[in-house]
Homo-oligomer: A and B are copies of this chain.
Amino acid sequence: MKQETRKEEIIRVAAKLFKEKGYSAVTMRDLAKALGIKAASLYNHINSKQDILKTIIISVAEEFTYGMDKIINSEVSNISKLKSIVALHVNITANNTNGMASLNNDWMHLEDKLDYYMQLRDHYENNCIQIIKRGILASEIKECNPEIIMFSMLTTLRSLYLWMPKKEDFNTQDLVNNLTEVLIEGINK
């Protein structure tokens, strides 16, 4: 296990605070206090508050993009691809619960990286809905509005960060299985 740098520690603690109160409500003095130092000392390690948010959100967003690109290019049924999407969300959330909170709630404060983020998100959603539409055409999936299916799936998966920390008795594989049951078997034909 690689030792965490001070910069990484700052970003990790920032993500935790951002989850609890939101980016705008967390001050640099709050963050410093949580680390046991003075606010000015943070700037030996990071460039700006904005920069912390960018680092947190963009890295998670790129993980999703990378994961989705692998899924869409795999040679399996569309239903299997949807199951892989469930697993992708569970795994990323398990490794970075707090980052998921920022991604969900504070993306609008990204400023100069906002366009890039929205591009990644659109790309992701376009791939997702394409899988669903192909699944319907291939009679793997119920004749149902594909946008509603995607909305229902993605909002549930995106909100996992709220819920997973409270349910540590689930291992991630159990959770994937249960979510697949609820989210996918229901639309299965």
- Give the B-binding residues of A (Cβ under 8 A): 20-25, 105-106, 108-109, 142, 144-145, 147-149, 151-152, 155-156, 158-159, 162-163, 167, 175, 178-179, 181-183, 185-187
Docked complex Cα distance between A62 and B99 (Å) = 31
Distance from A157 Cβ to chain B, minimum over Cβ atoms (Å):
9
| A–B pairs, 29, beta carbons within 8 Å | A20-B108, A21-B108, A21-B109, A22-B22, A22-B23, A22-B24, A22-B105, A22-B106, A22-B108, A23-B25, A24-B24, A142-B181, A144-B181, A144-B182, A145-B178, A147-B167, A148-B175, A148-B182, A149-B182, A151-B156, A151-B163, A152-B152, A152-B179, A155-B156, A155-B162, A159-B159, A183-B186, A185-B186, A186-B186
Distance from A13 Cβ to chain B, minimum over Cβ atoms (Å):
18
**Residue numbers in B under 8 Å from A148 (CB-CB):** 175, 178-179, 181-182
Docked complex Cα distance between A55 and B148 (Å) = 31
Docked complex Cα distance between A162 and B151 (Å) = 10
Partner of A25, one of B20, B109, B152: B109
Give the interface SS of chain A, mostly helix, strand, loop or mixed: helix
Partner of A152, one of B156, B162, B167: B156
**Residue numbers in B under 8 Å from A105 (CB-CB):** 22, 105
